[in-house]
Structure 1
Amino acid sequence: MMVSDAEPLQGWDALLLLRDQPLRPGEERRLGFVFLSGQEAADTFKTAGQFYLWEGRFIGEATVVS
């Protein structure tokens, strides 16, 4: 069994603000998020800077821009 010093993965529920246009595979877009867990989740993402999108599996990655 391998032991890792890495921090455990965290998950936060969020809604992507897609403006009624689906995000297609390979597409890059600047969009907003609404975090269902409030400011604590938003602060976590700002600190991380980059994160993965999960919908039953990894579906993309994101970078915090502001």
Structure 2
Amino acid sequence: MYDVADGGRSSPAQPGWACPVMVCKAEPRQGYDALPLLRDQPLEAGERRQLGFVFLAPETAVAAIEKAGRFYLWEGRFIGEATVVANGS
């Protein structure tokens, strides 16, 4: 999650929070609905953590995100980014 000064959320992302993720920052953007698995711990601005994600359309989302190797959290603007480290399927 980006620091607030770098465009991150001004409040922590709470468990149950969902957001679209984008495969790249350039237009046209390719996005997927995602639920970060925060468990019982909010994700604070500026925090780095290894998380799992659940996707509404996993068949297409996982393939595109794994191919890109990186994705971006979107909430009206880019608020964070992630690198793919493993596929949990």
Task: State TM-score, norm by structure 1.
Answer: 0.83
Instruction: Pick from 71, 74, 78 the counterpart of residue 58 of structure 1.
Output: 78
1:40 matched residue in structure 2: 60
Runs of at least 4 residues off by over 4 Å = none
CA drift at 1:7? 6.2
The alignment covers a number of residue pairs equal to 61
Structure 1: which amino acid aligns with 2:50? R
Give the match's secondary structure for 2:42: coil
Q: 1:47 to 1:29 in 2, by over 3 A?
A: same
SS in 1 for 2:32: coil
Shift of 1:51: 1.2
Larger RCO (alpha carbons 8 Å, 6+ apart): 2
Structure 1 gaps of 5+ residues are: 1-5
Give the alignment partner of residue 41 of structure 2, picking from 6, 17, 21. Answer: 21
State the alpha-carbon separation in 2 of the partners of residues 61 and 27 from structure 1.
11
